[in-house]
């Protein structure tokens, strides 16, 4: 590190905070200047922002706080209702953790978030990043809040010659040294805003950056080459078959996914596969037998299929359809707590993940089914 950099910790934070005073993003969970942040708003927004962009989160956040204005109200909600409000945000385990954490804060801490990082990290769904963000933003405590935006800013500022994966500890340590002695919440949010508005991934807007004069790559054509990238991995491709079963009244069979994994506690069409290879999906006699006899029914497998992208894999979805005249025998065969027929007018009230919405829309738009 150069002597210039050592002397510039204060210049860095002062420049950033002055820029923030005039350029901060106005976001519904943020307190106006000079006012104290609402810890529930900070917490809720940070959970929603895990893996989801700000623009998508805003309407969900507003819907949530209108319905559940404080942590005690959220603690009293039914998980199924929270899931239906969460539907479309993805990573549904977050909704379950939100509910669990709300109940703990309400019952164990009388509705007040603990002002202690270890206690925050003991709560479901709150890790290193979220606890640091709550400590800084909600409680104005000195706290090293490092997300992807912040890593990108420091990687460029110091022209770090290693990919983020290999430079995390260096960036964490150097970021710690840059923390100012006051305005901790503003500083954390200023770094986030700089990463979102100015030091953006593809083409950093160096000319507008308050750090331009002291940044190692600021204003150069090489700025956008940082952070150094690792070669991209192809997404794994998987195959799944979804079953669309209507009864004589036109109601559709849904299942509440009781597993703790992907789409946990969401309402889904029953399905098989997901981990199948293409060959197995199309050719295996065992799998074919399973798919043609699912629930002891005769199915028509539609020619059209669609893809849905998850973080780690691409799901190639096929759909099988059937109707049943007497569902009683069938439902008796199934776990009644997980499966139920839902009238089409009520489908929108379910906690539907984007994948299932996409399948239902495709069926509707192709006019294969009479919706």
Catalogue the active-site residues.
Answer: 46
Residue closer to ligand SF4, measured from CB, 120 or 217: 217
Asked if residue 204 binds ligand SF4 (CB under 6 A), the reply is yes
Contact between 276 and 241 (Cβ < 8 Å): no
Interface stretch with ligand SF4, choices 83-91, 198-206, 238-246, 272-280 (CB under 6 A) = 198-206
Exposed, middle or buried: residue 145 (CB in 10 Å: 0-12, 13-18, 19+)?
buried
The token duo for 4 is 């210039």
**194 or 317: CB nearest ligand SF4:** 194
Measured at the alpha carbon of residue 31, what is the angle toward residues 25 and 37, in degrees to the nearest 5? 130
Which H/E stretch holds residue 40?
Answer: helix 39-49
9-23 and 184-193 helices, crossing angle to 10°: 80
Q: Which is nearer to ligand SF4, 217 or 263 (CB)?
A: 217
Instruction: Give the whole-angstrom CA distance, residue 211 versus residue 295.
Output: 63
Measured at CB, which residue is nearest to ligand SF4? 218
**DSSP H or E run through 252:** strand 252-256
> Shortest Cβ distance from residue 108 to ligand SF4 (Å)?
42
**Close Cβ partners of 116 (under 8 Å, ≥ 6 residues apart):** none
Asked whether position 156 contacts ligand SF4 by CB under 6 A, the answer is yes
Residue (185 or 210) nearer to ligand SF4, CB: 210
User: Hey, which residues between 209 and 238 contact ligand SF4 (CB under 6 A)?
Assistant: 209, 211-212, 215, 217-218, 223
| Shortest separation between residue 212's beta carbon and ligand SF4, angstroms | 4
Q: Which two tokens stand for residue 200?
A: 């953006």
Where does this chain touch ligand SF4 (CB under 6 A) — which range of 149-157, 284-292, 305-313, 322-330?
Answer: 149-157
Question: Could you say which of 65, 120, 126, 153 contacts ligand SF4 (CB under 6 A)?
Answer: 153
> Do residues 227 and 164 touch, judged by C-beta distance below 8 A?
yes
Which one of 120, 198, 266, 268 is in contact with ligand SF4 (CB under 6 A)?
A: 198
Q: Find, among 43, 199, 34, 196, the residue nearest to 132 by Cα.
A: 43
Look-up: residue for tokens 């059209």?
304
Least distance from ligand SF4 to the Cβ atom of residue 15, Å: 10
CB of 198 to ligand SF4, least distance (A): 5
* Minimum CB distance to ligand SF4 smaller for 39 or for 218: 218
Binding residues vs ligand SF4 (CB under 6 A)? 153, 156-157, 198-199, 204, 206, 209, 211-212, 215, 217-218, 223
């Amino acid at each position: 590190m150069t002597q210039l950099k050592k002397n510039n910790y204060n210049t860095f934070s002062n420049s950033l905070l002055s820029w923030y005073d005039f350029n901060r993003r106005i976001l519904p969970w943020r307190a106006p200047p000079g006012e104290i942040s609402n810890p529930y708003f900070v917490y809720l927004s940070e959970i929603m922002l895990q893996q989801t962009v700000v623009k998508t989160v805003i309407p969900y956040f507003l819907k949530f706080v209108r319905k559940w204005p404080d942590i005690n109200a959220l603690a009293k909600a039914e998980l199924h209702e929270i899931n239906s409000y969460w539907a479309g945000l993805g990573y549904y385990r977050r909704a379950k953790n939100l509910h669990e954490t709300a109940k703990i804060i309400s019952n164990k801490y009388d509705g007040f978030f603990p002002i202690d990082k270890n206690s925050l990290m003991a709560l479901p769904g709150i890790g290193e990043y979220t606890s640091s963000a709550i400590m800084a933003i909600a409680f104005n405590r000195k706290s090293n809040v490092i997300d992807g935006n912040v890593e990108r800013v420091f990687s460029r500022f110091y022209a770090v010659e290693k990919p983020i994966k290999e430079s995390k500890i260096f960036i964490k340590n150097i970021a710690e040294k840059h923390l100012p002695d006051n305005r901790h919440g503003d500083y954390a949010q200023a770094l986030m805003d700089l990463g979102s508005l100015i030091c953006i991934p593809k083409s950093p807007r160096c000319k507008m950056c308050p750090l331009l004069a002291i940044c190692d790559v600021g204003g150069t054509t090489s700025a956008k080459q940082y952070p150094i990238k690792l070669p991209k991995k192809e997404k794994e491709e998987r195959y799944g078959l979804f079953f669309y079963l209507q009864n004589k009244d036109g109601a559709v069979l849904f299942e509440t996914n009781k597993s703790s994994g992907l789409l946990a506690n969401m309402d889904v069409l029953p399905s098989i596969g997901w981990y199948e290879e293409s060959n197995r999906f199309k050719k295996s006699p065992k799998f074919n037998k399973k798919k043609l006899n699912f629930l002891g029914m005769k199915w028509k497998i539609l020619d059209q299929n669609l893809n849905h992208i998850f973080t780690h894999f691409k799901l190639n979805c096929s759909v099988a359809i059937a109707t049943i005249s007497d569902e009683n025998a069938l439902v008796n065969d199934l776990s009644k707590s997980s499966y139920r027929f839902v009238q089409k007018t009520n489908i929108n009230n379910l906690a539907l993940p984007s994948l299932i919405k996409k399948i239902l829309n495709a069926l509707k738009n192709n006019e294969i089914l009479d919706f």
